[in-house]
Structure 1
């Protein structure tokens, strides 16, 4: 049976509080960045996740090997403290950057299509006006 996990990290990046939701399944990691306004409480984060889970847009999956957890309790405690201070992991940052690039590429393509359609519409309008001017000749 294959197992997966989901983890959310909420941290402050001036001027907003953001949440980075990581989910791992089958050796791949997907990340979603959520922007909160004011500092969210635990129950607000939970309510947001419950009500908006299906609407979240995750990054494309990033493959990577997950390290085994350390058995030493002192090391585990130190690692937990580092995670509290450090915020988001590097794999998560890579996944967010990949998602940002794909969104940027999609916006460019959409804008290009819109501009071409607008230019074609203007050309047809100019052509139509030209024909109307020479109607009686």
Structure 2
């Protein structure tokens, strides 16, 4: 059984995937706005069993995988790879990340321009000093 919670643009939705009798069954549950941890746990312990018991659907047939023993190191690599994969992030998180990168680029550009202006100002002062010395001031 696998529970994935994602933001569909309006509400947070829980997608439950179960495999029983070589058939994949999927259930959708709408949490609403920003579910808290206790709401998710209440769903798992109270609503989920009722949801699965009430809906009697056939599901999609799934091929039976051989129960071949997996090397522990390979299993560890597979788990770390799956954890590194980005899950379904919210649009708000994407927007915040985009804004952060945009501000970072702007800051770099501003710093570059400021350094160039300072160099130009120093150069003009140096030239002015040379002119004043040449004139005898």
TM-score (norm 2): 0.47
Higher CA-based Rg: 2
* TM-score when normalising by structure 1: 0.47
